[in-house]
Amino acid sequence: MSTAIGSESLNFFARSGALAFGIVYGAIRTRALNRKEARIEAREEALAKKKAERAAKRAAKAKLQQPEAKQEDDFWGELLKDSK
């Protein structure tokens, strides 16, 4: 610290243990926040994965049901082609 007051306050905090407490508390708090953020991200990724699986199942189900509708469309399409 460049000022006398700054160096005195730094010496006070160093001698009293408040500086060490602040550093340890900050490290623990940061780790806790990082873990919380990681849990939230994991939960969001799991939710996105479930949504993707559901969408894939819906698409597969629609694809299975689609050929019947497609055959009808082709049938009517063939009739229209023949009439021209």
Domain spans in the chain, listed from the N-terminal domain onward: 4-83
- pLDDT value of position 81: 66
Confidence at residue 19, expressed as pLDDT on a 0 to 100 scale:
78
Between the alpha carbon of residue 7 and those of residues 1, 11, 15, 17, 21, the distances in Å are: 5, 6, 12, 15, 18
Per-residue pLDDT at 36: 97
- What does the alpha-carbon distance between residue 54 and residue 40 come to, in Å, rounded to a whole number? 21
Q: What is the mean pLDDT of residues 18-24?
A: 84
Helix or strand (DSSP H, E) at 46:
helix 18-83
The pTM assigned to this predicted structure is: 0.52
